[in-house]
A and B are shown apart, each in its own frame.
Chain A
Amino acid sequence: MSHLHLPTPISKKFFTPGVIVLSVIALNGIIFLLGRFFFGIGSVTNLNDQFPWGIWIGLDVAAGVALAAGGFTTAALGHIMHRDKYETVIRPALLTAMLGYTFVATGVFVDIGRWYYIWHPLVMWNGNSALFEVGICVMIYVTVLYIEFLPIVTERFIGKVNLPGFLSRFNKFIDRLLRALDRGLSKTMFVFIIAGVVLSCLHQSSLGTLMIIAGPKMHPLWQTPILPLLFLLSAFSVGFPMVIAESLSASRSFGLKPETEVLSSLSKFIAPLLGIYLIGKIGDMVIRETFVYLAEINFISIMFGIEIIIGVIVPLRMFLSPEVRKSPTGLFIASMLVIFGVVMNRFNNFVTAYNPPYAVESYFPSIGEISVTLGFVAIEILMYRLFVMIFPVISIPSTKANIKTKYAIRGVAK
């Protein structure tokens, strides 16, 4: 790379028309959320004894976990395999994962009936439960993500602690604390980085184990003993598309030049990953002979078709083409399709495929459920915007002299 890329806090106005629209969506979600806490889950959702899980689990949690996969896939590539040129995308991916998982946890918090007992899995263990495994891994991983983010915080504030008024007497002390933290972290960070990748592999696959216990309640097109493997493979394939889509949106939103070079070389990994996933998915279908369910055209087969064709096959073909990989628009569209495909897949596994034996009517999310889900997405985007304005996350071309480079999370300077 010819010029210097330095992660820098973005200085732009926070409020734009887009931000105002997002705030309205967020506010609307929060109002319905309050309803859920004051009047019970039943007052806001369409859930019932036949359909205990809806989009709060199927989208907010299951799809949310998958879409945060950019964090561990880029960490594996950049830090573990030491492909230095991808350093610039690691910080944004880390931030997305951190915010993503925070919202997954919040999603769980609002969905469970007894939210004040959310800490119970920490002390009450049931190793047979797939949900327990997911819960514990996610809890530890969120902690790891926050630790991985700490160096960015110390980098931002070391030598710049400047508290107002009487608090200023603590400035020196906090600065020293930050420096000590920074030194400690840079020596131990590799432990957390590897742990983060291992934990991700574990809970991404355990997420797939979740619905297996539903047995015949789940449509055979999706119900298979290899669900954990399929979930892991699809998480692998959605990681980089998330990073690409997010990087392109951020550079457009902040008026920066897209990092097409890095992104298009990152995109080379996507087609093979999607290919492996597709082979798993189709192979499983052939072995279990579930393709018979595709013979008739109904809601189920249409949903399956959309998931596979639009969400996997089309983007797979696109990522094989060098022209697509070179153009920001092509990259963006293809990445969005993969993201759409994985969201569809999680939604299908948890909602479409679930067919309780005594259902009187089918489940469709209520206005309240949809509002809360959209509200979460809006708040997450707003938080992302806020974070990249405060912390050095996004790399922008810089002419500044070489700064001290640090192992791991620290930005690159070349």
Chain B
Amino acid sequence: MSQNRRDFFKTIAAIGAGGTALSAVTPKKNIAAPENLLSTERKGVLVDTTVCIGCRKCEWACKGAHDIEQGNYEDYQNDKTFETNRRPSAKSLTVVNQYFAEETPATIKLQCMHCDHPACVSACIVGAFSKVENGSVIWDTDKCIGCRYCMVACPFQVPAFEYEKALDPKIAKCDFCYERTKVGKLPACIEICPVEAMTYGKREDLILEAKRRIKNYPDRYYDHIFGEYEVGGTSWLYIAQKDLVSSVFPKLGNNPAPGVSESIQHGLFAYFVPPIAVYALLGGIMWLSKDRETKKENT
């Protein structure tokens, strides 16, 4: 295992946090979640649902970029698709659904939100998930054991699993086109979008841009940037015409999803102090109660 700098700080912070966590199980934001060592340079995407026309080109491009069977592009132009509420799956890492806000239809693209404090990263038993410098949450096929705990953990219910595969089933989710952005390309879905419904850039800048749009066009936007604070912030941010987005996603607070479980975790173990204390205590009891034995040991 490579102990990188982030892990080191995590460890140091957790030692400090251990004592606190023991006395109070209630999570304190900065203590609990993966330490706030997020790069200020991390990227994000601003999804402006008022611009999206529901052409589903992004779905098609995403499949192309991930070696998933694409099918004919023409087949995507079928309004029937919108009759069902689809979810991202192993066959389609992103989906565009239609929602109604007081009769007005809107199309919204869904994919992994690339949380700043991802539950999947915290949960994964072997650390197959990681949040990387540029904001992407990516998955490592060489580590994953297929336990599906990440799926239990994700508050947006995003990771999918290849249940039909007997060998090498994968956990599938949007990877923010990590392979493409590494070499300076745009994520496939963003590159193909004909109306620029999505803007790729530094997360900080995107929040400013979203605020600017909301301020300048108060009639066009509902005053909320979804993802700015939800579950501790996400890399993908949404603005919409009505209070639509928050009803598309599950009701989630602003605390990082892994918060409670991590503070309990660190409290129970707190760098082996409680286990060793219990061990010593039991050893003491064992030794003291030795006299109860009616027979002497003959060893």
Contact = CB atoms under 8 A, between A and B. Distances in A.
Contact of B125 (A126, A193, A205, A214): A126
A130 B151 CA distance: 14
B286 A80 contact: yes
Nearest to A41: B163
Contacts of B297: 407
Nearest to A212: B261
B16 interface: no
| B interface: dominant SS | loop
Interface stretch (B182-190, B210-218, B250-258): B250-258
B89 interface: yes
Which of A50, A190, A358 has its CB near the most chain B CB atoms (within 10 A)? Answer: A358
Nearest to A350: B152
Interface in B140-190: 143-149, 151-153, 155, 157, 159-166, 168-169
Interface stretch (A90-98, A113-121, A234-242, A393-401): A113-121
A371 to B, nearest CB: 18
Which of A76, A83, A125, A225 has its CB near the most chain B CB atoms (within 10 A)? Answer: A225
A282 to B, nearest CB: 18
Contacts of A127: 14, 265, 269
Given A40-B163, A209-B268, A407-B299, A49 B290 contact: no
Interface residues on A, range: 35 or more
A53 B163 CA distance: 12
A124 interface: yes
B19 interface: no
A82 B293 contact: yes
B208 interface: no
A217 B158 CA distance: 13
Contacts of A201: 278
B158 to A, nearest CB: 9
Contact of B144 (A117, A197, A405): A117
B163 A121 contact: no
Contacts of A49: 87, 89-90, 151, 157, 159-161
Interface in B214-263: 250-252, 257-258, 260-262
A132 B261 CA distance: 13
A211 B164 contact: no
B123 interface: yes
A80 B26 contact: no
Contacts of B162: 40, 113
B135 interface: no
B264 A209 contact: yes
Contacts of B290: 82
A228 B268 contact: yes
Contacts of B286: 79-82, 190, 193-194
Given A114-B146, A124-B1, A357-B157, A216 B252 contact: yes
B258 to A, nearest CB: 6
B289 A117 contact: no
A405 B127 contact: no
Contact of A120 (B126, B275, B283, B298): B126
Given A47-B163, A112-B145, A228-B264, A187 B278 contact: no
B99 to A, nearest CB: 13
Contacts of B5: none
Interface residues on B, range: 35 or more
B279 interface: yes
B292 to A, nearest CB: 4
A336 to B, nearest CB: 30
A17 interface: no
A214 B152 contact: yes
A254 B143 CA distance: 48
A82 B161 CA distance: 50
A76 B126 CA distance: 32
Given A82-B290, A124-B1, A126-B126, A212 B264 contact: yes
Contacts of B169: 40-41, 113-114
B25 interface: yes
A45 B292 CA distance: 52
A232 to B, nearest CB: 10
A406 B293 CA distance: 12
Given A80-B282, A407-B297, A121 B145 contact: yes
A42 B146 CA distance: 13
Contact of B265 (A42, A47, A187, A209): A209
B143 A120 contact: yes
Contact of B146 (A79, A112, A210, A228): A112
A128 B122 contact: yes
A356 B123 contact: no
A213 interface: yes
Contacts of A135: 125
B61 interface: no
Given A79-B286, A212-B264, A198 B161 contact: no
Contact of A125 (B1, B148, B258, B260): B1
Which of B122, B147, B257, B265 has its CB near the most chain A CB atoms (within 10 A)? Answer: B147
Given A118-B145, A228-B264, A194 B279 contact: yes
Contacts of A213: 119, 122-123, 152-153, 257-258, 260-261
Nearest to A39: B166
Interface of B: 1, 14, 25-26, 34, 85, 87, 89-90, 119, 121-128, 143-149, 151-153, 155, 157, 159-166, 168-169, 250-252, 257-258, 260-262, 264-265, 268-269, 275, 278-279, 282-283, 285-286, 289-290, 292-295, 297-299
Give the 8 A-B residue pairs with the shortest CB-CB distance, closest first: A113-B146, A42-B163, A52-B148, A52-B151, A357-B250, A114-B146, A124-B126, A126-B127
15 contacts: A39-B166, A49-B161, A113-B169, A114-B168, A118-B145, A128-B123, A131-B123, A131-B147, A132-B126, A198-B275, A209-B264, A215-B260, A216-B251, A228-B268, A414-B294
